[in-house]
Amino acid sequence: MYMRPIDWNNGRVRFIDQTRLPLEEVYTETDKVEALVDAIRTLRIRGAPALGIAAAFGVVLGAHAFSGLNRDEFLHHIENVSLLIGSTRPTAVNLSWALRRMQSVVNNYPSHDVGDLQNLLLNEALAIQYEEIETCKLIGSHGAGIIPDGSGILTYCNAGALATGDYGTALSAIIRAYESGKKIRVYVGETRPLFQGARLTTWELQKYGIDVVLITDNAAAFVMQQGKINIVIVGADRIVANGDVANKIGTYNIAVLADRHKVPFYVAAPSSTIDPALSSGNEIPIEERDSREVTELFGHRIAPPGITVYAPAFDVTPYELVGGIITEYGILRPPYSASIETLLRTHKRPERGS
């Protein structure tokens, strides 16, 4: 049961509205870059690799909306479209990575006219989508090997097909382990305040028939203490040069708990999520969300009016707490400053603008 949560369909972007899950499986299509930008801002499209694909398709929508023939005006238009898309979600590096890659297409073909560039941009966006799908397959293959038969696995937020082009990152490893015949049970943290674990991850795992147990976020320590968790696997929105990991707020809590209970803590992410330009997690821009995501629960207010809210969407897990980073090229081990440098030097993903 693999799904295509975001796709190109005859000049339009088709995506599943993740805010309607798990009760409604609704797909939306648009040929307007502004509508796609709104879908990203409102989390109808979310997940680091999926945001990279959405950004690339957004540039294509913007390119196709340009009706003139002047190349310079077209380049200026594409730059503005990229700035608009890039302003949506600052923490997930896949989005900016994809925008740089799309921008490099127009930079590297100085003699091509507008029509040629429009076609080249579409081809590049489709290439990004294809690469992310193949990458997730490889992450799953590498990650399945570290999951023992009979494991209790804890995962957090959503790192499945919904967050990627298909297959997923953390969930890809879990699903591959299940398909290989391993008996596993997956514990899913609800992931407050937006419940991506409860709404999305449980929905995906149920579709595969995997034994899945939903727990409250603050039950993780007790479940570990009871010996029910043998391994933790989560996704990532950005991994920096020293191995620090930005992921959904609450991930750091789980990493600390895993360290306390001697449970291996793994991160699964494509190499496009690695940002070597930042030396430590202290430099990662952390998105802050609307206070209503904390003060309201599915449209019902749960906090007193006027309460001050701090709502970071992500936190940073220090590299010392990460047992391994599962990528499409294998599992990186400490020291991450060396293993990440080696990976990026040996297996440089396309980014023509770099």
Answer for the pair 16, 10: CB distance below 8 angstroms, yes or no: no
Structure tokens at 222: 């007790």
Q: Round to whole Å and give the CA distance between 303 and 290.
A: 14
- The CA distances from residue 12 to 17, 62, 85, 124, 329, in Å, are 15, 11, 16, 16, 32
Residue 2, burial from CB neighbour count under 10 angstroms (0-12, 13-18, 19+): middle
- The CA distances from residue 65 to 34, 114, 118, in Å, are 11, 12, 10
Helix (H) or strand (E) holding 215: strand 212-215
Could you tell me which residues come within 8 angstroms of residue 255 by beta carbon, excluding any fewer than 6 positions away? 232, 265, 317, 318, 321, 322
Q: Round to whole Å and give the CA distance between 236 and 340.
A: 15
Cross-strand bridge partners of residue 317: 245
Answer for the pair 93, 71: CB distance below 8 angstroms, yes or no: no
Could you tell me which residues come within 8 angstroms of residue 143 by beta carbon, excluding any fewer than 6 positions away? 170, 172, 173, 174, 176, 177, 233, 266, 268, 326, 331
* Neighbour count for residue 289 (Cβ, 10 Å): 16
Answer for the pair 198, 231: CB distance below 8 angstroms, yes or no: no
Could you tell me which residues come within 8 angstroms of residue 196 by beta carbon, excluding any fewer than 6 positions away? 46, 157, 158, 248
**Catalytically annotated residue among 7, 166, 217, 237:** 237
Indicate the pairing of strand 314-317 with strand 231-234.
unpaired
* Neighbour count for residue 93 (Cβ, 10 Å): 27
Is 237 assigned a catalytic role? yes
Catalytic residues, which ones?
237
